[in-house]
């Protein structure tokens, strides 16, 4: 090992060149990473959630559960049909509603309502829920996800915009935990 | 002829590739590796090349937009000359590729080829397997139909269970808050650029190591691998009992490659392309999404896991499996190679194979899912209705109308979610039947709120008739005695 501390002109230029490239790479990495994470960072502070209308309250008879569809509040030009989302609207009585996500709380398949037996059934892994959304049987760990809702000017409004999944904060914030079934 | 030779010389003087190519082709391999067991690696490479070619051809037509993808697949299937055939080749090619990669892996495992000095070849191979599965999943998404849409929902639901980061991972995966245009665009980029690029690089490294380290010799029981001596022994073997790879061993690879390509093409012609199924419209909910063949076993496992086990199994399970595969050559890098002296290795393969086959078979008829239309489309067989009272027949109507048939079979018709009820009256007394119907339990929902007392009475009366001829229905002996005594007094 040499203890010579002098450095040749070429070696200095090479080190400076590497340092310069490192600086440029770091400077470029910032916008690249921000671009890649755009879909995550935008969602912060409920950036995706908005109030959307499901239609007039008169469309939903008391004591019944009906399928409603709405367009997602955040869309892009190439979304096509996938911008639409379905949900189950249960009008308990008067102004009292329960609005369930179509997605099973197990793995997100579309649940179907069977009014005769008062059950939501999932076609994928056999999850079943009672009419109030609480878990009846099968692999789900909890009841159906519910959208926060309100009645405004005779319209049923829900706060939506994100795919409800078992781990999403919106699911745990607004979704009702299953009552003792 | 001389002109061709001259042109060849002109190019090689500049490229200087002829000598290294000849060296690679003629490198000596142990004679006993010229076996039909050693053809799966090259077969996987051939199918990968087929996938590259057919994939590029599909990209000439396919439109990676959520609003157009499904239509472009329809036009491939129906409008463009032989578009269906290229789609079918690509779809069947992916099935074959997954299968051949797995067979190759089993062969390498059983022949001890992952041991010293080929540990890194195995590790790279594990990543190649993961990338192959990644191609299979992203490819299924590009066939943008109902199964793809809801399959993405399942993927998002699984990813969301990761602690703390789950929600961020879902948005990163979907490219936004929902499954939509951005989701398809990024899966297209993954399927067409990112993963294939990595695959090509990893395949290159994998092949390079096969050439540098030599093909694994045929394992002889009792010939143990020792790090200190193995390399010398191997070189001695190829020197004494070796032969040039081309043409001594390669002809079997060539024949098998052609056979596989013919098999893929035959499947493509006879069975045609996969889907697309219904349009990816999230408001059409009359659908029962199913994954492609090689993911069916996961689909089955997910329906059998108890709720409390689900998140740990989904998050920790893959880490354990992938970790075990990566660590294997470091935990058993020396010693016996032959499967004849490695009973645990053989049993492990058998256990995994039987497990995967069983789950895949179960996923073929999904006994855990209610049959959504059984209540309106599967009639109760006549023998359960003949010679019944009006009340019992009314009960049969309740059985249909309240969708009991969706989960319970009668005469082998109906769902298999719950037990078949052909002989339920032998197992449960009247009181037990009433309790089960009203309160549910044992994975059955409670029907108390949805059945009037009259309906419950009729239903239980019908259920009590469900016993084999000549076998008496169950009855509560103590109750009969109690009632009998009251009657006497």
Measured CA to CA, the distance from residue B66 to residue B386 in angstroms comes to 54
Q: Check whether residue B122 and residue B195 sit in a common domain.
A: yes
Examine residue B176 and state whether it is found in any structural domain, yes or no: yes
Closest-CA distance of chain B to residue A74, Å:
8
Give the H or E element holding residue B260: helix B250-271
Examine residue B347 and state whether it is found in any structural domain, yes or no: yes
Q: Check whether residue B237 and residue B123 sit in a common domain.
A: yes
Interface test with B, best of A166, A167, A168, A169 (most B CBs within 10 A): A167
Q: What are the residues whose beta carbons fall under 8 Å from the beta carbon of A49, sequence distance 6 or more?
A: A73, A159, A160, A161, A162, A170
Measured CA to CA, the distance from residue B234 to residue B246 in angstroms comes to 19
Q: Check whether residue B307 and residue B454 sit in a common domain.
A: no
SS3 A26: helix
Bridge partners for A65 per DSSP = A90
The CB density around residue B241, as the number of other CB atoms within 10 Å, is 12
Q: Check whether residue B33 and residue B51 sit in a common domain.
A: yes
Q: Check whether residue B338 and residue B430 sit in a common domain.
A: no
Q: What are the residues whose beta carbons fall under 8 Å from the beta carbon of B109, sequence distance 6 or more?
A: B328, B345, B349
Domain final residue pick, B365, B387, B411:
B365
Examine residue B89 and state whether it is found in any structural domain, yes or no: yes
Q: Which residue has the higher pLDDT, B326 or A172?
A: B326
Domain final residue pick, B365, B399, B423:
B365
User: Hey, what are B225's tokens?
Assistant: 């691998």
How much of chain A is helix, strand and coil, in % rounded to 5? 25, 30, 45
Examine residue B83 and state whether it is found in any structural domain, yes or no: yes
Measured CA to CA, the distance from residue B313 to residue B304 in angstroms comes to 12
Examine residue B9 and state whether it is found in any structural domain, yes or no: no
Q: Check whether residue B194 and residue B250 sit in a common domain.
A: yes
Q: Check whether residue B262 and residue B123 sit in a common domain.
A: yes
Q: State the total domains in chain B.
A: 2
Q: Check whether residue B73 and residue B39 sit in a common domain.
A: yes
Examine residue B277 and state whether it is found in any structural domain, yes or no: yes
Please give the model's pTM, rounded to 2 decimal places: 0.89
Residue B415 sits in a domain of what CATH number? 1.10.760.10
Q: Check whether residue B403 and residue B435 sit in a common domain.
A: yes
Locate all alpha helices (DSSP H) within chain A, ordered by sequence: 9-36, 38-41, 169-174
Closest-CA distance of chain B to residue A143, Å:
12
pLDDT band at B175 (very low <50, low <70, confident <90, very high): very high
Examine residue B406 and state whether it is found in any structural domain, yes or no: yes
Give the pLDDT confidence score for residue A180 in this predicted structure.
41
**How do A112-114 and A128-130 pair as beta strands?**
unpaired
pLDDT tens-digit readout, B379-428: 898 888 989 999 999 999 999 999 999 999 998 888 888 889 988 999 99
pLDDT tens-digit readout, B377-390: 888 988 889 899 99
Give the rounded percent of residues in chain A with a pLDDT score beyond 90: 61
The residue segments making up the domain with residue B348 are 28-365
Give the pLDDT confidence score for residue A175 in this predicted structure.
46
Residue B114 sits in a domain of what CATH number? 1.20.810.10
Examine residue B129 and state whether it is found in any structural domain, yes or no: yes
Q: Check whether residue B381 and residue B248 sit in a common domain.
A: no
Closest-CA distance of chain A to residue B368, Å:
6
Average pLDDT for chain B: 92
pLDDT band at B284 (very low <50, low <70, confident <90, very high): very high
Measured CA to CA, the distance from residue A23 to residue B318 in angstroms comes to 38
Q: Check whether residue B298 and residue B445 sit in a common domain.
A: no
For residue A126, the chain B residues in CB contact (below 8 A) are 303, 368-370, 417
Give the pLDDT confidence score for residue B164 in this predicted structure.
87
pLDDT tens-digit readout, B134-153: 999 999 999 999 999 999 99
pLDDT band at B474 (very low <50, low <70, confident <90, very high): confident
Give the pLDDT confidence score for residue A167 in this predicted structure.
76
**What average pLDDT does this structure show over B90-119?**
96
For residue B149, the chain A residues in CB contact (below 8 A) are 82
For residue A69, the chain B residues in CB contact (below 8 A) are 283
Closest CA to B152 of B291, B304, B300, B3: B291
pLDDT tens-digit readout, B287-310: 888 888 889 998 899 888 888 888
Give the pLDDT confidence score for residue A44 in this predicted structure.
54
For residue A52, the chain B residues in CB contact (below 8 A) are none
Q: Check whether residue B319 and residue B192 sit in a common domain.
A: yes
Residues B252 and B43 sit within 8 Å (Cβ to Cβ): no
Give the phi and the psi of residue B13 in degrees, each rounded to 5: -65, -30
Give the pLDDT confidence score for residue A37 in this predicted structure.
92
Exposure string over B387-416, b if 16+ CB within 10 A, otherwise e: eeeeebbbbbebbbebbbbbbbbbeeebbb
Domain final residue pick, B311, B338, B365:
B365
């Amino acid at each position: 090992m040499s203890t010579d501390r002098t450095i040749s002109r070429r070696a200095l230029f090479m080190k400076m060149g590497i340092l310069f490239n490192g600086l440029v790479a770091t400077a470029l990495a910032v916008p690249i990473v921000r671009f890649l994470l755009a879909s995550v960072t935008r969602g912060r502070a409920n950036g995706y959630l908005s109030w959307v209308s499901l239609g007039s309250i008169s469309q939903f008879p008391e004591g019944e559960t009906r399928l409603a569809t709405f367009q997602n509040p955040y869309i892009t030009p190439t979304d096509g049909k996938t911008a639409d989302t379905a949900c189950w609207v249960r009008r308990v009585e008067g102004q009292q509603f329960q609005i369930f996500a179509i997605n099973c709380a197990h793995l997100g398949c579309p649940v179907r309502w069977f009014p005769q037996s008062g059950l939501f059934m999932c076609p994928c892994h056999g999850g079943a829920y009672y009419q109030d959304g609480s878990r009846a049987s099968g692999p789900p760990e909890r009841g159906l996800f519910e959208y926060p809702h309100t009645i405004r000017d005779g319209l049923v409004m829900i706060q939506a915009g994100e795919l409800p999944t078992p781990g999403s904060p919106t699911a745990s914030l607004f979704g009702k935990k299953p009552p003792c079934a | 002829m001389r002109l061709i030779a001259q042109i060849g010389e002109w190019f090689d003087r500049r490229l200087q590739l002829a000598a290294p190519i000849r060296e690679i082709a003629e490198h000596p391999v142990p004679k006993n590796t010229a076996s039909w067991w050693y053809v799966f690696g090259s077969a996987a490479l051939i199918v990968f090349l087929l996938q590259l070619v057919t994939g590029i051809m599909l990209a000439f037509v396919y439109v990676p937009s959520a609003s157009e993808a499904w239509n472009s697949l329809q036009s491939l299937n129906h409008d463009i000359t032989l578009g269906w055939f290229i789609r079918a080749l690509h779809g069947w090619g992916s099935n074959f590729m997954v299968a051949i990669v797995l067979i190759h892996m089993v062969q390498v495992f059983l022949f001890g080829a992952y041991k010293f000095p080929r540990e890194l070849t195995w590790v790279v191979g594990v990543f190649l397997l993961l990338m192959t599965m990644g191609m299979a999943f992203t490819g299924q998404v590009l066939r943008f139909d109902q199964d793809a849409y809801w399959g993405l929902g399942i993927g998002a639901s699984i990813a969301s269970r990761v602690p703390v980061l789950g929600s961020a991972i879902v948005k990163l995966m979907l490219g936004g808050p929902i499954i939509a245009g951005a989701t398809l665009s990024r899966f297209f980029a993954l399927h067409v650029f990112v993963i294939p690029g990595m695959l090509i690089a990893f395949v290159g490294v994998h092949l390079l190591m096969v050439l540098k380290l030599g093909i694994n010799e045929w394992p002889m029981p009792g010939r143990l691998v020792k790090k200190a001596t193995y390399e010398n022994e191997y070189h001695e073997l190829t020197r004494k009992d070796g032969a040039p790879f081309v043409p001594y061993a390669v002809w079997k690879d060539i024949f098998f490659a052609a056979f596989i390509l013919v098999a893929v093409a035959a499947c493509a012609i006879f069975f045609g392309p996969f889907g697309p199924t219904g349009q990816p419209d999230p408001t059409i909910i009359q659908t029962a999404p199913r994954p492609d063949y090689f993911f069916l076993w996961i689909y089955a496992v997910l329906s059998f896991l108890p709720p409390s086990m689900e998140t740990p199994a989904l998050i920790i399970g893959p880490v354990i499996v992938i970790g075990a595969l990566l660590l294997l050559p470091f935990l058993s890098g020396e010693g016996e190679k032959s499967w004849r002296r490695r009973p645990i290795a053989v049993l492990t393969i058998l256990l995994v194979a039987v497990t995967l086959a069983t789950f895949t078979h179960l996923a073929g008829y999904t006994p855990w899912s209610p049959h959504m239309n059984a209540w309106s489309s599967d009639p109760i067989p006549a023998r359960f209705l003949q010679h019944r009272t009006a009340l019992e027949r009314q009960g049969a109507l309740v059985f249909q109308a309240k969708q009991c048939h969706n989960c319970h079979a009668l005469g082998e018709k109906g769902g298999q979610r719950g037990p078949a009820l052909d002989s339920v009256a032998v197992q449960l007394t009247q009181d037990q039947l009433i309790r089960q119907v009203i309160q549910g339990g044992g994975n059955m929902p409670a029907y108390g709120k949805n059945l009037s007392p009259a309906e419950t009475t009729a239903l239980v009366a019908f259920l009590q008739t469900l016993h084999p001829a000549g076998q008496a229905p169950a009855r509560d002996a103590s109750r009969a005695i109690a009632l009998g005594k009251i009657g006497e007094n």
